[in-house]
Amino acid sequence: MNMWMGNRNARARAVLVACAAALTIALVCVGALWTWVRIAPERLHRLAQEGDLSGIRFALWLGADCNSKAWDDSGYWGGISPLMVAVEWEQPEIVALLLDAGADIEASDALGQTALYRAVLRPAMLKTLLERGASPNRCESAPDGGARLAVSPVYVALTEGGEESIRAFLRAGVDPRSKCFVLGLYDGLLRHGRSTDAALAEALVHAREGMEGMEVDLLHAAAEGGAERSCRALLDMGVAVDARGRMGQTPLMCAARGGSSEVARLLLERGADIALVDNAGLDAFRYLGDAASGIPADRVEETNRVLARASGEAKPG
């Protein structure tokens, strides 16, 4: 009887040991799998893209590197960090979590693009990054010594970002002497002056001491881009209303080329001489006529009326 009970206890202990061993192995396997899933290369990036806040927390607890770089054959993950992914997919809670965990806010990918660059067209993300210390003055140099404008956040804000993005950089104290800022002002006025005029006018005032001799170029760009408030700001700063460009063009000629009747009216009110011609002998009417095919007909007609009233005779637009 005692022998039978002893064998029974031994078998029970063996079963318990086997169960414990199996459970341990299972837990180790599950833990290893869970760890691999959470901190495998690019996994942190995927969690950021998916907005998996708990997954990000667990991955960081397991030791995932919040500054890891991810790469793949498609090029999408070209040295991109989890923070960049979170910004691009507009995941504010994950952005905050990664920054609190030590994510490098100034890190750049293989193309030189930073998290701030990706935030330019996402105002909420832009505001967060600037408030958390991202530099508004990042302006990388190209091998030839020029500026890499295409990856400069402030340049992109001025040329593509819209008024909210422009003002975010102004509030952040962007350097008015930065080459990327001044060139961004020029291109922004020329490309989107009409739609972002109010914010660009504020940027011009901010840049007043750092234009580095570009005042005339900026006035020409503002005139052609239809940025009336910006033109007014530059004229108030003392830029001559008939200031000549490299080809002898005046702001009024530029306004005519852009079909900007409001700017043309402003310039004429400020004393612009409609009789002036450029180095090739072309006047404002000719500038309007040469550009007419690319401008809406109503804008051409209105600009022609403004010029005609000033000259005392109607000419073909």
Residues 116-138: pLDDT tens digits? 999 999 999 999 999 999 999 99
Residues 210-268: pLDDT tens digits? 787 899 999 999 999 999 999 999 999 999 999 999 999 999 999 999 999 999 999 99
Give the Cα separation of 301 and 307 in Å (integer): 10
> Could you tell me the residue ranges of all domains in the chain?
240-317
Over 90: is that where the pLDDT of 28 sits?
no
pLDDT of residue 285: 96
**Average pLDDT of the segment spanning 167-184:** 94
- Lowest pLDDT segment from 65-69, 196-200, 283-287: 65-69
Residues 280-302: pLDDT tens digits? 999 999 999 998 778 999 999 99
The mean predicted confidence, pLDDT, of the chain is 87
pTM for the predicted model, two decimal places: 0.84
Over 50: is that where the pLDDT of 67 sits?
yes
CATH hierarchy code of domain 240-317: 1.25.40.20
| % pLDDT > 70, the chain | 84
